[in-house]
Structure 1
């Protein structure tokens, strides 16, 4: 038994394994023994923060810093827990400990560089909470949070607790299609030498194209606030390149942002309808963008920003051996633009909404981003063009049992004279979550999209993972679509080998895509089914694998009796 160094020591650490508490207790004991306290007003912190598995409420409200705002931060300690916790009896075995030896833990300097506060600063609760959110977004960490350790009259010591995820992994893919077999292999390290750097080398092969790809990315390269992504693929028919370097709005209070982005990527686009491939062509997408932005209004309740930039978007299309119909014409747009952002500083930490037994940071309230650009022929455009992109969302939680989410997105371009180059899509989404308890939930969602003058590859589709899981991929096509879903969800506390978490779902979908004469009449489709949800607590953090079996209730003659869909998403 471990003696507590003082009453009221934290009962546990949320979202880590049960014995992660032991690590923290030992750290505090060591600190109490090794540090000779010179300030007689200092005492060990007497609050606690419960482990996420033990919480009965969906919303996780931590009050540990409520009485500490304004105190000077005297010292910050970093406690990095490895992938497998040797103090957890379920993980203290030779295999897991051997894997720990193969893994390089995230460096304290990597964590320190991402915090919005430092030693000798006055403690700002919002900066502490936002620092936690920044760290929890990193795929190389399974969880992150901050705790007070020692509290004095005017000072406080903090501990930043993180647990690593497994970062080194091989990746394989094989698929069989009518025209041949597609295969791929890659090796990826998502946390090279504990720096947060992702490095991936891959090879892909199909009947028409081979490529060797290299990707390097780091959201905080050299422990700075510079985000970098470099991608290069040497293909049998050319090269694919992506370069993305930016100083993003790293936090709600970041005063400025700037960046550069360039992309030249080609891919084959199969066009499917009614479970048949009706066309295929190659799409070369070229894009360049440079921007600069400032935060013009930073308040405790909200942040407003303005961004200006210039973009070049160019699309070219080429036939392949499987091309059966006319292909879209080329497009080119060069335009300056201005963007407005409004972010309401209301965040909640929840569990068991889209992830299984993990803390989820949700941006509540109103959030808006809208970009508008215009340019004439003087920018080497074929016509005067208007470009607009926007998203508005509003998320409300109430009575501890309900979350209502609404959003509207808009993406379009308009030419004064070249109507064949126009396109626009507007999408509205409403989602509602009702929580019976910490494991059982109801989910209802409706998605309605409407397009205009869409190229064939932009057409709206339903089927498979896009909704209507009882039907094949892109079973219906059109310029309008809707999908309504109701699900009964179950988030279990089963933790297989302390690696894999399980959930389950029963669902009903109804909807259709319609509005284009060439595809004929589109009946309303519906299906019922059930599925499993698998989420690793050690690797590929944030991904939830969906394994769904569904049977169609309408238009059953043209599809199989059962549809099996398997895929990974960022939601339950």
Structure 2
């Protein structure tokens, strides 16, 4: 059953404006909903597939409050599946301005994340930010109807280059999914900059071309439906990074070295089902799903370079995610990732990252979040570095404030979730937070980061309002967007940084 945007049987939602919205809105096609279900009519009931289908529907940007339940028909006594979703308004003119990390961003245009009720997303946008401005045409089909595949097309004409992207993929939808596959082409030209201590030290043009394909299978003999799955994926790719001097280059600094690599890789995954359903963790009064089961993947491959034999070597990647419920009020999530490239010269352009988050529901409709993350780079390419700034966790500081090859960030937040839905349009909450961190070491292949700018610990405190729209579509698949409006005080500011920073941004978390 597809419910309208507003419930006209509810007196609070039965007014002329909401009724008009219901009449103008094109409901989501029932076929779109059926295509997202992982079970078929007349199949025996499998609770794992029902749960996975509900999780999938709740990620769709054009739906809200999706539920998939097994019920007993009182008349026939037969088992039935009841699927209910609520539509949201998806056709939106886009006119926005945001300020974060000392930078201003603006865009205008329109987007429809459920074009004519088909579940397809279309957007046409003009944008401007610190790095570039231009126009974007974007198309995203989260389910083409053929093997639950997804299609993404994107074209962007910017003042510093062109972006062309096409991706067709079929993901592993749940533990019972038999196979996955993807083909991808991405050709992007842009202007980039190197920073030290928040200051630009070099400009250069960068063209990146990626062509890749992969195919994977679940190993049925080593998998148990509803408990765990073992999978293997084989992939090939070619990546090119070409650099040119910028006409307004700030320095004669040497350009990043061009790269052209071909790779063949093999990946193994071991995924355990430990999903829980909860609310008021990263969203406001919405169903949320966390897989606390161990999720492990490892990738190994071979790389050959067309430009520099020193880049020949091996791909080494590994990732592990796991969660723990201490009791009904305490949840800990941990993630560790290594993404590396090993050559005759040792590790090159490799990064080890880890973070741990502790969520404590310390009050009714509130929680205390503590998060610690760290990163360490090894012989990073000149155009790659680890950044700590207003866009990467230090909310009181400008873009690229600290750069290096290692970083530590500690965050504490107290969340207050509002219980009511304001004007039948959005949920609201507030947050009080403290950030402390540091990025240091080699940046862009140079030790300049050690001698330029503030390389010590920096801290900030702030307070913010959180708004979560309940009747409009989300920009991206997955977690619903939450509008952040923050006032932040940097505690270790240097010259050129205001006493207070204000931030307006949309995030995927509270």
* TM-score of the superposed pair, with normalisation by structure 2: 0.89
Separation (CA, whole Å) in 2 of partners of 1:127 and 1:436: 34
Matched, 1:372 2:300: yes
Matched, 1:298 2:231: no
Separation (CA, whole Å) in 2 of partners of 1:225 and 1:280: 42
Q: Which moved more, 1:495-504 or 1:368-377?
A: 368-377
1:477 pairs, out of 374, 378, 403, with 403
Residue 107 of structure 1: CA displacement? 1.0
2:317 pairs, out of 383, 386, 389, with 389
Match of 2:179 in 1: 256
| 8 A contact 1:140–1:167 mirrored in 2 | yes
Residue 139 of structure 1: CA displacement? 0.8
Match of 2:191 in 1: 268
> Secondary structure at 2:13's aligned position in 1?
coil
Which whole-Å deviations, capped at 9, do the CAs of 1:102-160 have from their partners, x for residues lacking one? 21111111111111222211111111111101111111111210232515786212220
Distance 1:149 1:272, change over 3 A: farther
Match of 2:505 in 1: 567
Q: Which moved more, 1:214-223 or 1:542-551?
A: 214-223
Match of 1:553 in 2: 491
Separation (CA, whole Å) in 2 of partners of 1:160 and 1:207: 45
Superposed, which structure 2 residues align to 1:478-493 within 5 Å? 478-493=404-419
Separation (CA, whole Å) in 2 of partners of 1:321 and 1:562: 35
Which whole-Å deviations, capped at 9, do the CAs of 1:458-490 have from their partners, x for residues lacking one? 211212131222222221111111011111111
Separation (CA, whole Å) in 1 of partners of 2:376 and 2:172: 32
Distance 1:503 1:280, change over 3 A: farther
Which whole-Å deviations, capped at 9, do the CAs of 1:194-252 have from their partners, x for residues lacking one? 11101112234689976443221112114651211111234566532111112222222
1:159 pairs, out of 50, 73, 82, with 82
| 8 A contact 1:272–1:473 mirrored in 2 | no
Separation (CA, whole Å) in 1 of partners of 2:32 and 2:426: 27
Residue 426 of structure 1: CA displacement? 0.8
Distance 1:176 1:484, change over 3 A: closer
Match of 1:312 in 2: 238
Distance 1:166 1:270, change over 3 A: farther
Which whole-Å deviations, capped at 9, do the CAs of 1:310-361 have from their partners, x for residues lacking one? 0111112233344324331111210110011111111001100000000001
Q: Which moved more, 1:208-217 or 1:323-332?
A: 208-217
Match of 1:12 in 2: none
Match of 1:51 in 2: none
| 8 A contact 1:109–1:223 mirrored in 2 | no
Separation (CA, whole Å) in 1 of partners of 2:7 and 2:488: 39
Matched, 1:447 2:373: yes
| 8 A contact 1:227–1:245 mirrored in 2 | yes
Distance 1:285 1:200, change over 3 A: same
Separation (CA, whole Å) in 1 of partners of 2:112 and 2:422: 24
1:168 pairs, out of 68, 91, 103, with 91
2:142 pairs, out of 188, 203, 219, with 219
Residue 412 of structure 1: CA displacement? 2.4
Distance 1:381 1:207, change over 3 A: same
| 8 A contact 1:289–1:310 mirrored in 2 | yes
Q: Which moved more, 1:540-549 or 1:159-168?
A: 540-549
Separation (CA, whole Å) in 1 of partners of 2:247 and 2:184: 32
Superposed, which structure 2 residues align to 1:38-437 within 5 Å? 79-147=1-69, 148=71, 150-151=73-74, 155-173=78-96, 184-204=107-127, 211-222=134-145, 224-235=147-158, 239-296=162-219, 297-299=222-224, 300-325=226-251, 326=253, 327-376=255-304, 383-416=311-344, 422-437=348-363
Q: Which moved more, 1:559-568 or 1:352-361?
A: 559-568
| 8 A contact 1:289–1:309 mirrored in 2 | yes
Distance 1:367 1:151, change over 3 A: farther
Distance 1:377 1:283, change over 3 A: closer
Residue ranges of structure 1 left out of the alignment (5+ in a row): 1-78
Distance 1:294 1:457, change over 3 A: same
Q: Which moved more, 1:547-556 or 1:158-167?
A: 547-556
| 8 A contact 2:163–2:189 mirrored in 1 | yes
Match of 1:462 in 2: 388
Distance 1:110 1:149, change over 3 A: farther
Distance 1:390 1:539, change over 3 A: farther
Q: Which moved more, 1:443-452 or 1:560-569?
A: 560-569
> Secondary structure at 1:465's aligned position in 2?
coil
Match of 1:498 in 2: 424
Separation (CA, whole Å) in 2 of partners of 1:136 and 1:270: 39
Which whole-Å deviations, capped at 9, do the CAs of 1:265-296 have from their partners, x for residues lacking one? 12333444444333333322211111110000
Distance 1:262 1:346, change over 3 A: same
Separation (CA, whole Å) in 2 of partners of 1:253 and 1:152: 33
> Secondary structure at 1:464's aligned position in 2?
coil
> Secondary structure at 2:136's aligned position in 1?
strand
Aligned length: 490
Separation (CA, whole Å) in 1 of partners of 2:146 and 2:437: 48
Which whole-Å deviations, capped at 9, do the CAs of 1:32-82 have from their partners, x for residues lacking one? xxxxxxxxxxxxxxxxxxxxxxxxxxxxxxxxxxxxxxxxxxxxxxx1112
Distance 1:392 1:208, change over 3 A: closer
Residue 376 of structure 1: CA displacement? 3.8
Which structure: larger Rg?
Answer: 1
Distance 1:122 1:246, change over 3 A: same
